[in-house]
Structure 1
Amino acid sequence: MRTTIILIIFIIILSINYSNQTDPPLGTSSVTFVFDVTGSMHDDLLQVIQGATHIYNATLRREYAIYDYILIPFADPDVGPILKTRDPNRFQRGLQDLIVQGGGDCPEMTITAIKLALEQSLPNSFIYVFTDARSKDYSLGDTVLKLIQEKQSQVVFVMTGDCGDQNHIGYQIFHKIAATSSGQVFTLHKQQVSEILNFVQHSIQTRKVNLLVIDKIKRNKQNYTLAVDSKLLEFTISVSGANPQVTLIDPSNKTLNQRSWFTRLLRLKEVYILNVKHPMIGEWKIQVISSSAHSIRITGLSRLTFRHGFSSNLITDLIRTHRQPIQGTLTYLTIEINSQDNIRNAEQIELIDLFGNVLINEKLQINLIHPTLYSTLRKFEPPVKSFFFYIRLSGIDSNGHRFQRLSSTALTSYIPLKPIVNVDSNSIEIKSNISYKIQCHIQSQLPYQVQWLKNGQLISISNYSTHITTVEYLIDQPTEINDEGLYICNVTSTSGYDIGEINVNILASPPFIQTIPSKSLFALIRSTISIDCLVQSTKDYKLNWKQELSSSILIEPSESRTRIFENGTLILINIQKSDDDSVFVCIANNEGGETQERITIYVQEIPYVYVYPQTIMYSNEWNITLTCVGTAGIPRPLLIWRQQNHTNPMELSSKIQVNNGILTIVMATKDDEGFYECIGTNIAGEDIKTAQLIYVEPPIVSTENSHILVSPGHDIDLKCNVIGEAYPDIRWFRGNEPVSSFLCTQKVSTL
């Protein structure tokens, strides 16, 4: 037994291909060793440790689709620790760290260890169990059988003992696991070691397709047929039972002998394994004889494989199917061929039990949209849960030859569980008038119906397929009166029902706010203003005022210049120029949320204007300029000129020009005489200032005598007559020098 285990592991690990990939590539597998570490296995473990270096060196020369390898030690009651690695040095250290001890009672925790192996291994993996005892935890058998159907992995038992009772359920469960997974149970002796090595190697290579899996519960002589197609490169026959004999007859009706036509991998008292490479295409006859209950496995190496799925409706994608059928429910079976080029047609499927009996036979039809898919012509009722079965696919390959393939593991119908309903929270709060979707999350193995109830009243009903795992109900524009209460998501399928409950509390609407004045307020400088904030709310609320510095920054208003009253009124004292364009925000909060209303302050000041000169006397064709300046006013006043007693501004022309408050009259005449008003105006008010234009004619001056003779020392009067409007300014000059003293009477000046 010790040497047996070493060499078996040696051949298995030869198949491992190490790479730097971190994620398993699609289609790769694990090789997993489940090892009994009780005291009776001590010598065997020592042999494994001694051979570990040779195993590693051998792996470097082989390339197969094995991704990693796993070691799971077990005893009673302990299982583990699990070693899962791609590093051969780490694996070797793991072996060296194992300690074999104990083992007082014979049964061990084998099934628990196999369960862990299936869970840790990749799908379609190879699991080898090494033990010399039956299982103690056989009650976990159904769990392991379910995992085999999910993971589609093969379990092979290499045994050197059985605790003395092969009829015990703890031993028989090994055969059931092997039969379901297309594995076998081998009982070995030391002298048989060298002959089993080739089979272990071939068991990894030929796991790609199953051709025949049958268990016989009694001794018999049985003939079988095997359809060999052009895609089948080789096949291996393995018979485990007492005194097995195998006879091969090829399609030409020739009985084959070992020397010429096949390779005998193992010939023992209870095991017979042979391999045929490049077999003749056609129907082979195989005769198997055993003097006890026995198992027969025929596997092949081929590129022609298939996947399957069960569904209640015809589908176009295996994702929407189940690997196992539902007990008591009519179902379609859909087959997907791995490549359309491999076959000409898929004709039928058969469901075959573990003993080779055909339970169901159904014809297939091709899917016209997806030519790699074939479905049964009709629905059928699958076998009951107690029957395990393989799927056998028959058809014609691309070269016109008949082919047959079996599913990788046996299957059984399952009784679906009732739906399971979960909700994110049993109590939620949603805002009034804001639509909201409540959800329930559903796990169901069958199509199901969802009823939504509100306070016991049905409000919605819908049907869903199994791949829909979340359903929603829209509460549209909810109100406290109409939509608050207990919502129930009632999920029902033919297997039962479950409910999810959600208490929905409708929060009050956020407060409604109105400022008076609304949006904006014009305030005179140095005045005091008040702003009312009116709030409507069905629930208690809090109110506050803030001043806005930017769109995202709110600060408390100045305490020295503001007052906030309980009724929501804001008083702003002594308005300043710096308050112009300030934004104040009224904020109200209740359980439903927050509302803000903004109002902008625009500061105003009554204009003040100044006109200069205020009086101008002019004569004909003078150019006259009057200037008006706004010295105060917010906003900046608009300056216009008009003639007194006129309502409209002065009309501009080539003679009358106004620019920035400056009035220019070109070539003025007497008609331009009068009062002119400058009006400064803004939204706060206006200011008016007046200027006067007085028209005067130039004075006419005359003298009585232009030349007068006078004796020295005598007095003389020099008279000038002045004619002009108003009172002319009269001056006398002697030469260029002004005369300081003279007498003026009306229109007469005497010197």
Structure 2
Amino acid sequence: MAAVLVTLLVLCLSGPSEAFVSDGGGASTHVSITRTALLQKVTDTCRAVVEASGHEFKPTGHSPEELVRACLGPTATGEVSGAKFHSALREIYVQNGLVDRDFVNIAPHHFNSERFMEGRSLIMEGMASIKANVGKENFQAARETLGRVLHTLQDFYSHSNWVELGNREPYINLIRPDLPLENLADVDTATCSDCSIGTCPNTILPNIIKEKKLTSGYMGISSNAKPKGKCSHGGAADLTTSTIPRGGISKDERRSDNIALHTAAVNTSTAASLQLLEDIRLAAGDKDFLRMIGIARSSVLCFVIDTTLSMKEDIDEAKAVVNGIIDVKKGTQDEPSEYILVPFNDPEFGPMVRTTDPDIMKSEISKLRAKGGGDLPEMCLSGLQLALTGAPPSSQIYVFTDATAKDIALKDTIDALIRSTKSTVSYFMTQPGSRRRRSIGAASFNDYKDLALASGGQVIEVAKNQLPQATEVILDTSTSALVTVLQRARNPGKQETFPFMLDESLKNITIYITGTSITFTLTNPAGVSQSHSEASGNLGTIQTVGNLRRIRLNADMQTGTWQININSNQPYTLKVTGQSIITFIYDFVEAFGGPHPGYAVISGRPQAGQPVNLLLSVIARKGPSSMTVGEVGLVTVSGPESVSNGKTTDMGNGDILLTIDKVPEGEFVVMLKGTDKESNSLFQRQSTTSMSVSKVNIQVIVDSSVEPGETLSLPFSVITQGSGGEYQVNARNDKKLAMTYPPSLSLKTGQYSNATLTMKPPADTLSGTDITLTIEVKSSSGADSNYAVLRISVVQKITDFTPPLCQMVSVLADDCPADVSQCSPFQWELSANITDGNGTGIVKILKRQGDGSLSYSSLSAPIVQANYNASCCSQIVEFVAVDEVGNVGKCYHSIVRSGGPPALTVSMSLWLCLLISAFMSALH
């Protein structure tokens, strides 16, 4: 029954499968194949993790949200948000689709034109990069590469004649570089017959079928030329289709003439995707595999702390906050999934400490000491840059400082990183006392306010002795399911009434107001009010500390439309938050054409002067079927409020495409309203990160990783629809690598200007290092600007393709009775030697099956001795060895008897796969 439920779960989540196209609406097989494989592998991994902890894996339904809850929920209480999981899946799907835009005419990325060796090289390079990135916990870079690699792998089954040759299982050699690609048709071998009508059931020549020759269709985007007698890809975009032999062998689309072949290609590419994911899972381990796919509690605790002499009290308070959160939230769903610490001083900043172990975080923050700093501003933005590039997207980042930024030149870069990562930055600014301060250039505390406002964060200004009360905000926001209901800012201040809607799913609702000389009145749907002067009233409790008013609503709050009237002639901000699993994720996207059209995520600001598109996913309690979307639009945060509603298009699987013709002027956020069917209540949610449009556009593509010590050349193009002239170019990376690029470009309206950026990671850069590069372009007046944020992986060239080898030494199972019901008093044991042929070294050995105990000798020894002991009731053992570069070897042994005397079977696989055909040897 469990297997049946899981199969139903995956089928319900997978969506339709009709065409190998990008995520452009309707049926999208590249997306649905990837979704099916990912959700199946996540389900398998979650089950293994949950059952290993002694619990039963029991998803309550078929939605991704319920899968996350079943995976994380058994050992903790509280709300579980599926936002990270949805975001991770979205990143993979988007990168998968971008292969059809960025590499549309590059044959190896699609296994077109018989480019099999090059296509496999792309897969192998990608897998090496993924494993290296996961090893360095650079999960976003790993996801982006995974999406591209899966696209290329999936295209093999649609674009080649693999299924026409009768194969219904994946070609394991594509992910096994130690195995050759065999029986490839050479360039002079004719492979197809002519199809005058363009769509024939199977045009592969009989001798090619008989000889099992592997070929693929030639694709011509700009030319109809192809070698004589060769198959075409086919379709309207392929110009070679009209060159004899006409037609095409692509199984991208389901047509009446190729239903069986298309279905076989879909099924086989799904199985191949599962093989690749399983290999990555084994190399990464279950915990890090799930973190890569976004199965983690949403809360990340990230501190950026000024360690200069005047900050002693602040550092002590930060230590108390960290220790308090770790102790209070341990064992709940609000326990942070990750801890990040970045100290900064002058002129030093960093290093960044990143860990999942709360005890390590306690230890590291306890080492902070206030020292030095002189009388100058500090390297605050440099420390924040490390946090923004190291923390997962959508993180809450808390900065402690009492000084302005010495490195104010980084402000535009920080602004770009905030908008790109959608992370929220809040500042705790304390009075510096007698310490002298002087600004550098235009640096001031207003710079922090600008960045906090762009991120949806707050600037909390308090005296040092008030800091313990102010940091309660961190406890509020360190939650697995934090949502924003409303956020507004007014500068200059004025009297205004702000309505907002509270629904039944919201818990721990808190209202924050920052500013001075403020009065306010809060009113619930029944008309009951509470003013700023009532510290404890009918609606909640009010705490005032420094410039912050923190209003915590009572637990029995009434649902419906509330309002708060604020009066002040000074600048102020308003934010309403709560805890709920009902939320949404979004990306600004642009459409692209070509043979397989779709939508690409915009790295920078959307284009001004044209409709803006957003791709949204609404996350409800039991998936998209448990809610109804109402209004979706863009809302200004500051100044006179302006709302631009748009047209929504259902893209399937809970995704919505929002098209807005008229975009508000200035900074705006996304506002969504809908109905929760579970409680039949209206809900309201808002994004936190502000965005604006730009007439400048930057086009840049990272098509591969870079080797340590090698130069990376990165072409990019810039265009403006505004006034032409000189535009400043600035590029920065978080590893402080030297770069060359033109400091300015002369732009003409509507014409691209091309340039190239180069960088060279040092030869000793560790494999798996992730470089975050920001390119900014600004008009000479500073009135218009845009940015692009890119991730570049540094990966050492892989020369070791040989998996670890397993050799069985002995099996002692003679005492195990033939009658399994009598097994409990008896034990069996196994001994094996594990070696790594190419010498990069075995780094870990993991048990995959079996209830017994596995032990092994030192991993640094040339031969690792593994020993396994188990009850005779546990009759199968499987363990894997992973070497330094991620090659996986497997040992498998079964003492299961089948209708006769005991049969000892030991199978060893050089590479883990899903099929028994992948096992390399068997010992009897």
Q: Taking structure 2 as the reference length, what is the TM-score of the superposition? A: 0.41
Higher RCO (C-alpha under 8 Å, 6+ residues apart): 2
Kindly indicate which of the two structures has a greater share of residues assigned to helix.
Answer: 2
Q: Taking structure 1 as the reference length, what is the TM-score of the superposition? A: 0.49
Q: From the CA coordinates, give the structure whose radius of gyration is larger.
A: 1
Kindly indicate which of the two structures has a greater share of residues assigned to strand.
Answer: 1
